[in-house]
């Protein structure tokens, strides 16, 4: 995608200004169109949200699981613990991908599937839907180009996405020459 920048952003059941600060550290150029999630209500849903830096009538396009959210309060209906990932597109990158609808920016949200949410809920300390999620967790605070090694051989992330996390015996990560090397050993 043109202008797309992928960023790991921690998402928890009590999303707050801390999330905004983490995104600003990683993507300082997005500050003018950053979404701030205020807090969660007793029902587990986001009780309010606001988009900073927008002018009257300019609303970013909201995409949830690949579909345009038609309701203006779509963000307020999301349960934060069901959010898998959050991406922001702005300026030319947004219009290149979404055309005129993306002129005011795009917020892309991917939700956990029911199976992923149940796995996370049943085992919050170590539930991974696949080997790739396990690998990413091993390197969660590391920055740089990522190289995946499975049983000593370099593999593409797509291979790990097709493997069960249960098939992995160990996962470790280290910085090597500015790159993040994630080593996975299968149970064989």
Mean pLDDT across the stretch 143-172?
91
What confidence score (pLDDT) does residue 75 get? 84
Flag the least confident range among 15-29, 61-75, 84-98: 15-29
The owner of tokens 């795009």 is 106
Please report which confidence band the pLDDT of residue 86 belongs to, taking 50, 70 and 90 as the band edges.
confident
Give 57 or 16, the one with higher predicted confidence: 57
- pLDDT on residue 64: 93
Q: Give the residue with greater pLDDT, 166 vs 48.
A: 166
pTM (predicted TM-score): 0.45
What residue spans define the domains of the chain? 17-112, 131-186
Q: How far apart are CA 17 and CA 19, in angstroms?
A: 5
Q: Looking at residues 166-172, what average pLDDT do you find?
A: 89
Q: State phi, psi for 36 to the nearest 5 degrees.
A: -115, 125
pLDDT at 105 over 70: yes
| CATH fold for the domain made of 17-112 | Ferric Hydroxamate Uptake Protein; Chain A, domain 1 (2.170.130)
Q: Residue 108: pLDDT above 60?
A: yes
The least confident of 91-105, 116-130, 173-187 is 116-130
pLDDT tens digits, one per residue of 24-61: 444 444 444 444 333 445 555 444 445 555 566 678 89
Query: What per-residue confidence (pLDDT) applies to 63?
Result: 93
Confidence band of 65 (pLDDT split at 50, 70, 90): very high
């Amino acid at each position: 995608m043109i202008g797309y920048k992928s960023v790991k952003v921690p998402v928890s059941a009590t999303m707050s200004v801390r999330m905004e600060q983490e995104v600003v550290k990683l993507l300082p150029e997005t500050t003018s169109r950053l979404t701030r999630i205020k807090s969660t209500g007793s029902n587990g849903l986001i009780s309010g949200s606001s988009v900073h830096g927008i002018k009257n009538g300019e609303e970013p396009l909201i995409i949830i699981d690949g579909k345009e959210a038609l309701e203006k309060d779509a963000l307020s209906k999301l349960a934060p613990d069901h959010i898998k990932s959050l991406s922001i597109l702005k300026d030319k990158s947004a219009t290149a991908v979404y055309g005129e609808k993306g002129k005011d920016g795009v917020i892309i949200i991917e939700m956990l599937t029911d199976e992923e949410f149940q796995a996370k809920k049943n085992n919050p300390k170590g539930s991974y839907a696949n080997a790739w999620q396990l690998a990413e967790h091993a390197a969660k605070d590391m920055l740089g180009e990522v190289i995946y090694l499975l049983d000593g051989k370099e593999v593409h992330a797509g291979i790990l996405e097709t493997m069960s996390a249960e098939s992995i015996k160990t996962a470790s990560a280290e910085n090597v020459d500015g790159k993040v090397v994630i080593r996975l050993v299968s149970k064989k």
